[in-house]
Amino acid sequence: MANEPEPMLSVEEAQEQLMAAVGEPLPGEDVPLDEALDRVLAESIRSALDLPPWDNSSMDGFAVHAANVAGASSEAPVRLRVVGEVQAGGSPALELPPGCAIRIATGARVPSSADAVVPVESTIVQAAGSGSASGDAAGPGSPRSMGFRAGEPLPEACLVTAGVEPGAFIRRRGEDVRAGTRVLEAHRRLGPAQIAMSAAVGLGSVRVHRRPVAGVLSTGEELRRAGQPLGDLGIPDANRPGLLALCRDAGALTVDLGIAGDTVESVLGALRPAIERSDVLIVSGGVSVGPYDVVRAAFEAIGRVELWRVAVQPGKPFAFGRSKPRESDGRSVLLFGLPGNPVSTFVTFQLFVRPALERLSGMLSPSVDADRAVTEDRLQKAAGRRGFLRVTVSRDERGDPVRDGRGRLLVRQAGHQGSHVLSALAAADALAVVPETVGQLEPGAEVEIRWLRR
């Protein structure tokens, strides 16, 4: 038995099985817009409003009858008497008699009696009582183009030095969005622009999927909390801080479950109380075939291991399972057993845990930032497993990635490729994906990469 080839799932088979088990995203909840960044919409958003909600001016200037200023030029300006003013947020209920103008600000509602706006740059204003143009350099031949000054009193008149068509410089009601139109689709991740859009259509909060809660546990008698004395036999627990950060990066909330020893009881002691308050439990270490690898036994005690061992390097002993349905809501908690070597932990998180967290968060398909590259080094890995090698990307003096004539990046090994070599992972810009069928890639060979940092 020990010498038989191990049955192993491919990366895709494992991802497929796992995502089928993950099922539907978590239910929706309403959150205020200032908490909505990076959340995923649980329902599409329709506008309750016309945007803009009324015709408004796109310029600071004068609301006019276009017919009154037809043919105006700097040689032959048209003088209009200024009969009032409307500012943004101000009431526009003003009469506009023929031959007159209303001073108007950008975003102010256009009086219904006007049919165009003349920008202030195409006018020369005449101060009350002066009968002449105001402004230093301004005169009939040289239109003033500095706009209004703050607090400037309403001028008596303006000379229009360029005619406008009816409708000029007016932003029409509903021109951006018509009431009832869908402006954002469900499953859309909310960035700053989508948050502004939600606010613009009148929403103070949005319905998004609940964020998954991920409990993170490290296992191993040798582990010490980072920053604590190590003694002769201890090493710092690197995985837990790394995994907590990965979970947050993937949009999850986290529960730090600390460090468990290498016994089933110790692991269960940490996992059991976390079941009710987590959607996902992530355990690193103890998932391989040694006598102290107790995590699968712990999973079997609270649920079932549904998948173990994937044809991937690093990360082969990866395990996935589900808890028994919990009492409170009948949901099963997802159980992830990640191999303890820090690079294996990281790679298996990216391949299997991240897509699950993203699905629970409401995303339809996982975010994968792939690119094409050429390797400058020889890349070696085990045949029969898909390799995810830690590589750096060539950059110019400004730090921008360099590409060859065919648009491909140039990559080199970030360091030793052992699954314990955290320094190479920390230095890496990307993971180079080397297919199962390939044992070695020669310099100059093309390779797909997954960006870690651009």
- Exposed/middle/buried for residue 425 (C-beta within 10 Å: 0-12, 13-18, 19+): buried
User: In whole angstroms, how close is the CB of 298 to Mg ion at the nearest point?
Assistant: 13
User: In whole angstroms, how close is the CB of 320 to Mg ion at the nearest point?
Assistant: 18
Contact flag: residue 314 with ligand AMP (CB under 6 A):
no
- Exposed/middle/buried for residue 198 (C-beta within 10 Å: 0-12, 13-18, 19+): buried
Contact flag: residue 285 with Mg ion (CB under 5 A):
yes
Contact flag: residue 220 with ligand AMP (CB under 6 A):
yes
Nearer to ligand AMP, 224 or 372 (CB): 224
Contact flag: residue 286 with ligand AMP (CB under 6 A):
yes
In the beta sheet, which residues pair with residue 207?
30
Q: Which does 313 bind (CB under 5 to 8 A by kind): ligand AMP, Mg ion, none?
A: none
DSSP state for residue 356 in the 8-state scheme:
H
Nearer to ligand AMP, 146 or 235 (CB): 235
Nearer to ligand AMP, 68 or 313 (CB): 313
Spatial CB neighbours of 125, under 8 Å, sequence gap ≥ 6: 82, 133, 134, 135, 144, 155, 157, 158, 159
Nearer to Mg ion, 21 or 238 (CB): 238
Q: Which residue is nearest to ligand AMP (CB)?
A: 340
Q: How many degrees, rounded to 5, is the angle at CA 410 between CA 408 and CA 411?
A: 130
Residues 402-431 that bind ligand AMP (CB under 6 A): none
Task: State the first-to-last Cα distance of the chain, in angstroms, to the nearest integer.
Answer: 46
Q: Which does 212 bind (CB under 5 to 8 A by kind): ligand AMP, Mg ion, none?
A: none
Contact flag: residue 284 with ligand AMP (CB under 6 A):
yes
Q: How many degrees, rounded to 5, is the angle at CA 453 between CA 316 and CA 319?
A: 20
Contact flag: residue 215 with ligand AMP (CB under 6 A):
no
Largest CA distance in the chain: 106
Nearer to Mg ion, 292 or 451 (CB): 292
Residues 320-359 that bind ligand AMP (CB under 6 A): 339-342
Contact flag: residue 266 with ligand AMP (CB under 6 A):
no
Contact flag: residue 315 with ligand AMP (CB under 6 A):
no
Q: Which does 341 bind (CB under 5 to 8 A by kind): Mg ion, ligand AMP, none?
A: ligand AMP
Nearest to 64 by CA among 161, 173, 175, 176: 161
Contact flag: residue 218 with ligand AMP (CB under 6 A):
yes
Nearest to 356 by CA among 14, 8, 9: 14
In Å, what is the CA distance from 371 to each residue of 121, 162, 403? Answer: 49, 53, 11
CB of 233 within 8 A of CB of 276?
no
Instruction: Name which position in 212, 215, 220, 314 contacts Mg ion (CB under 5 A).
Output: 220
User: In whole angstroms, how close is the CB of 9 to Mg ion at the nearest point?
Assistant: 23
Candidate segments 23-31, 41-49, 184-192, 220-228, binder of ligand AMP by CB under 6 A: 220-228
User: In whole angstroms, how close is the CB of 212 to ligand AMP at the nearest point?
Assistant: 21
No. of helices (H) and no. of strands (E), the chain: 9, 28
Q: Which does 115 bind (CB under 5 to 8 A by kind): ligand AMP, Mg ion, none?
A: none
Q: Are strands 100-104 and 78-86 parallel, antiparallel or unpaired?
A: parallel
- C-alpha 309 chain-centroid distance: 32
Backbone angles phi, psi at 54, to 5 degrees: -155, 165
Candidate segments 23-31, 213-221, 393-401, 435-443, binder of Mg ion by CB under 5 A: 213-221
Q: How many residues bind Mg ion (CB under 5 A)?
A: 4
User: In whole angstroms, how close is the CB of 303 to ligand AMP at the nearest point?
Assistant: 20
Q: Which does 309 bind (CB under 5 to 8 A by kind): ligand AMP, Mg ion, none?
A: none
Contact flag: residue 237 with ligand AMP (CB under 6 A):
yes
Give the whole-angstrom CA distance, residue 318 versus residue 421: 18
Backbone angles phi, psi at 290, to 5 degrees: -75, 170
Nearer to ligand AMP, 51 or 267 (CB): 267
Give the whole-angstrom CA distance, residue 102 versus residue 107: 14
The DSSP element (H or E) to which 359 belongs, if any, is helix 354-360
Q: How many residues bind ligand AMP (CB under 6 A)?
A: 17
Nearer to ligand AMP, 284 or 332 (CB): 284
Spatial CB neighbours of 434, under 8 Å, sequence gap ≥ 6: 379, 381, 386, 387, 388, 389, 441, 447
Residues 324-363 that bind Mg ion (CB under 5 A): 340
Binding footprint of Mg ion on the chain (CB under 5 A): 220, 285-286, 340
Binding site for ligand AMP (CB under 6 A): 218, 220, 222-223, 235, 237-240, 284-286, 288, 339-342
